[in-house]
Amino acid sequence: MRSCPRGDFGLSPEAGIGDFWRSTIALDKRSAKSFIRINDRIRAREIRVIDENGEQMGILPPFEALKIARERGLDLVEVSPSAVPPVCRIQDYGRFLYEKDKSERAAKKKQKVIVVKECKFSVTVDEHDYQTKKNQAVRFLVDGDKVKASLRFRGRQMAHRELGYAIINRLIQDIGEAGIVEFMPRMEGTILHAILAPAKKQEAPRPKPAAAPQPQAAAAQPPAPQAQ
């Protein structure tokens, strides 16, 4: 079995064998998680190399680029495996993962996760309970979430489905411009439900620029007196 110098993994020659293998396992786990080839795992015959300052170093064999990275105390990271030839960068692999995770977290924060929240009604719902749930549905829609309005028929209520449809259709009318109907009321088993989505916000019309004032016509001068 070929031995690997411990200095290649950022450990001093005096480090114990346990420290060496812990470092190797941690590096392998991070590489497997991100599916990124680094150092000896790069298998292409030739690679396009970019140094730590972003400068192009041309096309080199991987072993030669890796040698340069080792001399600088850095790693060789494959950043664009689908390119021809693959693009690799000389950089600190740990910092590369940190920056990658940081950018992914920032992207997730910008994403709006739409949640479907349910408002349950019954055929015998009273006016106060209806208004409470209607206001709740409007609040959900204003917050950017979808609303599932559902109504369950029990026992003999299945013979009077028109009552359930009347309640759900009233809700759609009362919500007004706060939401739009994504799925019209429909039956699934003993449950009648509809899906409402937040209304798209319309941008306010931009004010038209004021017209430049027109230059006033020069005042008419009186005609010169004629010579006698």
Cα–Cα distance measured from residue 108 to residue 113, given in angstroms and rounded to the nearest whole number: 9
Dig out the tokens for 144 from the structure: 């950017």
Cα–Cα distance measured from residue 90 to residue 107, given in angstroms and rounded to the nearest whole number: 25
Q: How far is CA 181 from the centre of its chain?
A: 25
For the chain, which residues make up each domain, given as ranges? 1-34, 36-108, 116-198
CB-based contacts of 228, cutoff 8 Å, min separation 6:
none
CATH of 116-198, one of 3.30.110.10, 3.40.30.10, 3.50.50.60, 3.40.50.410: 3.30.110.10
Q: Per-residue confidence at 1, pLDDT binned at 50, 70, 90?
A: very low
Cα–Cα distance measured from residue 112 to residue 143, given in angstroms and rounded to the nearest whole number: 11
Q: What's the order of all strands across the beta sheet hosting 191-198? A: 116-121, 146-152, 191-198, 179-188
Q: Per-residue confidence at 90, pLDDT binned at 50, 70, 90?
A: very high
Cα–Cα distance measured from residue 133 to residue 119, given in angstroms and rounded to the nearest whole number: 6
Rg of the chain over Cα atoms, rounded to whole angstroms, equals 35
In the predicted structure, residue 150 carries a pLDDT above the cut 80: yes
How buried is residue 35: exposed, middle or buried, by Cβ count under 10 Å (0-12/13-18/19+)?
exposed
In the predicted structure, residue 210 carries a pLDDT above the cut 70: no
CB atoms within 10 A of CB 196: 25
How buried is residue 65: exposed, middle or buried, by Cβ count under 10 Å (0-12/13-18/19+)?
buried
C-beta of residue 37 within 8 angstroms of C-beta of residue 31: yes
Q: Per-residue confidence at 222, pLDDT binned at 50, 70, 90?
A: low
Average pLDDT score over the chain: 79
Q: Which fold has domain 36-108?
A: Ubiquitin-like (UB roll) (3.10.20)
> What's this model's pTM, rounded to 2 decimal places?
0.44
